[in-house]
Structure 1
Amino acid sequence: MPGTLTHGRIVHPVHPWLPVAGLADVLIHALHCLPLLEALVMVQCAAQRGDVTVDFLRRKLPGNRNARARSVLDYVVVRADSILEVLANYHFRRAGLHVRRHVELQGVGEVDFVIEDLLVVETDGTTHLEAKQVKKDRVRNNAAVVGGRLCLRFGYADVVHHPEQMVAQVLAVLEQSRRGAFSAR
């Protein structure tokens, strides 16, 4: 067809009644052709819904020529509460940070991330702008600080549109902590 780009053969079952490629082929082609973050979001969504497994995709991408596609799979978060977590996790790990996800902190509850065993980072979608949630988040932030951890919160625009600024802020807090800026005087 004019104006179309053939990405490769269709080797997996097609949609049962629509004239489109099946999900497995779409994801494999996305992993090869799309920018890394776009492919990651597609795979994350399909894996989170249970439509495909990362192991299945990894098996379908053998050899050196598929190394970049397989590397995307390393950033899929098995249990993500939001796509913001997945994207933030990607950016923090790419910056070389030690990241733990879904950490239970006494008096705080579960937090999205603990970075370098010091800094709590929360990624907030629109529900965190509701008055009841703002109050809950404030209590959790205070409990984290009282428990000896600093806390930063990032919203959609930070994670999606300004990830370099988000990472820079995290790095700045970690550097200040390393220099003793937050020690008792």
Structure 2
Amino acid sequence: MAVVVRAGAAPMWWLGVLAAGVGVLVPGITGRRIGVMAGAALFIVAAALVAYRGRNRYVVLARSAVRAGKHDVLQDRAVSARNWRRGHRWWLLLAFLAALGSSFAVPAAGGMLLAGCGTGLRLKAAWLGRRERADDALLWVRVDWLAANGGRPAGKTVKAYRSTGIAAGDAAPGGARRRTAALV
């Protein structure tokens, strides 16, 4: 489940950094200094809002998590991330173009806002990872519920999470790629 949260963090971050970098090159209506200062404020606010938004729903669903059954379909980390990115690629492109377009008014602010949203998602995934480690269980969303909900792991159609042991699957707590030790 943290994989889906984390899937949007990297594209938002990199597209935001790219848009902010290009935006600094344009003087804009307000000037570079005001644009960068406004962008820094937007980055901090967006990161905080995205990181803390919906935590109560995640906590409620995590408390009601049931052990994954034999017939539950749970996706690999790479498949979940790829599906989320494919399903949201047009929204990411529109957000990038909006961030670039806003640079003509307030340089770099739109890009920094987008990067702040990506940072907030990364912070939320890290929080979920700490929670998974504390409970000693990975949390999963059933594939059919995730697909019906547009890729949101805590949406209305998600009734409960599934849990497995911490060593199950190819994802570490928090949605990171599981590191395997080299065999000697």
Bin of the TM-score, shorter chain as denominator length:
under 0.3
- Ranked by relative contact order (alpha carbons within 8 Å, sequence separation 6 or more), the top structure is 2
Return the index of the structure with the highest Cα Rg: 1
Give the TM-score of the pair, scaled to structure 1.
0.22
More helix as a share of residues: 2
